[in-house]
Amino acid sequence: MAGVLYQVTRTAAGAAILMVESADVAQRSEASGPDSALASALAVGLTRQEVTVASPTPPMRRERDSMGEMLVPASAYYGASTQRAVLNFPISGLVMPRRLIWALGTIKQAAAIVNRDLGLLDPSVADAIARAAGEVAAGQFDDQFPVDVFQTGSGTSTNMNANEVIANRASELLGGERGTRRLVHPNDQVNLGQSSNDVIPSAIHLAALAALRDDLLPALERLETALRDKSQEFWPIIKTGRTHLQDATPIRLGQEFLGYAGQAERARIRLSRAAEELHELALGGTAVGTGINTHPEFASRVCAWITEHTGLPVRETSNHFQAQSTIDSIVSFSGAVRAAAISVMKIANDIRFLASGPRTGLGELTLPEVQPGSSIMPGKVNPVIAEALIQVGAQVIGNDAVIATAGQWGYFELNTMLPVTAYNLLQEITLLGRAIMNFTDRCVVGIAATSKGPAMLEAGLAIATALVPAIGYDRAAAIAKEAAATGKTIREVARAQTTLTEAELDQLLNPENLVKPGLEGGPASG
């Protein structure tokens, strides 16, 4: 097969299509049909299971990079470097998220404009690059980013994917053809002043900030508002509290929901604080942080343009060497996303347990009925919206574990797990934001309280705590044990075993006194 020009492209199902350009192979293929093409595939190292043969072969064109020529689909905007990556990484079928492509397009657009203004790019070329990059950012070429997530650890394949798509599109805008490299060069012009090593971490930061702003923070704010509304609605309802899954002193249902609202509020605050480090971009460091081959003003000007045009206040990092050799800021931020996921999992779990039953569970809440709950039990309705959120929370915890592991792969001047970091970080932000918004709109706003919580209050044993200031801990404990053994209420046993009057019992066991601080209702011990 020496001297043969060949290529393999992945299908949607993950198989491979082989195209071979060689006089001998073409003759055999024509004579023998697909079998000879399969034999050719096996000759270049593919297994039989990895190969499907496409016939007829789609139109192709030759593209060139520093390693030589490659065949690329004629309709593709990407070039030889991207095609090599497609061949090299037929692993998962997972591609980079939309927001990372947006961030790359935005950075390339800003870079073209800044390089034009610095006199480093011909204005007509720069304007074509900027327009093409803007189209990439807008999503017009998402199908031209086929490189697998599991690729070179720096993300060079994805950076070159962007450079090639933008260069070919810019060439078209200037009246040229795709693949010539004569009008716009992907490295010399689109990538001017940049390296994959500073562009990819910068794109991850920018994309994460956009996802936080557009998806996760609004979802948490909406959840907090809905929970505060429910807190006010449920404030008059007093019920038994629970610690260790056992009866505890009374609490207002509204107080429980106020706690949930506080969780959402604090999750939002933690995320905003953790995101502060994401506002620093590695741009300007190029290969190893020294800034070789870039104008001293390039990074600061690019950041200013991005801030103005996206509303995301980014700035050049004050320490390029840490910005490229680590992903510490991403690890920290992902931890805040994980904390938010764990927090809302607790809320969702509490709500589904409080709604358990409806007859043999706690049954203190009813949830909106959104779909049948069983294929065999008629009339069963399950807390499916809460369960969906809990599953997303588990996914986020897994994503964060990947990112924590990736953070350990910052050897010397570069972290080499940037693509998988980007994928997991953006997925966890977007998934959690969507799941929280769905939980709020399809569950929380429709929650209603039942009478079961208040009805069970008098039967609870923990209200014996309210007797402690009057009769002491030991006597109150004895009353609670007697009530538990006999099935009587605390009031009934206290009436029989103490000299407390009915008026005194009414005062001590008044639910209103048991849900506020102070000694009137006894100490709030746990």
How far apart CA 109 and CA 190 sit, in angstroms, is 9
Alpha carbon distances (Å) from 434 to 76, 260, 346, 389, 393: 33, 18, 17, 9, 11
Judge if the upstream peptide bond of residue 358 is cis by omega within 30 degrees of 0: yes
Residues identified as active-site: 244, 374
pLDDT at 476: 92
pLDDT at 526: 45
How far apart CA 368 and CA 381 sit, in angstroms, is 9
Torsion of CA 457, 460, 465, 470, to 10 degrees: 80
- Going residue by residue through the chain, which has 526 residues, state the pLDDT in tens, using 9 for 90 and above: 333 344 444 444 444 444 444 434 333 333 334 455 555 555 555 554 544 444 456 799 998 888 999 999 999 999 999 999 999 999 999 999 999 999 999 999 999 999 999 999 999 999 999 999 999 999 999 999 999 999 999 999 999 999 999 999 999 999 998 887 789 999 999 999 999 999 999 999 999 999 999 999 999 999 999 999 999 999 999 999 999 999 999 999 999 999 999 999 999 999 999 999 999 999 999 999 999 999 999 999 999 999 999 999 999 999 999 999 999 999 999 999 999 999 999 999 999 999 999 889 999 999 999 888 888 887 888 999 999 999 999 999 999 999 999 999 999 999 999 999 999 999 999 999 999 999 999 999 999 999 999 989 888 888 889 999 999 999 999 999 999 999 999 999 999 999 999 999 989 999 898 888 855 444 444 4
- Helix (H/G/I), strand (E/B), else coil: 483: helix
Decide: 153 and 412 in contact? Cβ < 8 Å: no
Q: What is the reported pTM?
A: 0.87
Residues 6+ apart with CB under 8 A from 232: 254
The residue among 473, 521, 478, 510 whose CA lies nearest residue 496 is 478
pLDDT at 9: 46
Pairing of strands 60-65, 51-52: unpaired
- Helix (H/G/I), strand (E/B), else coil: 400: helix
How far apart CA 226 and CA 183 sit, in angstroms, is 56
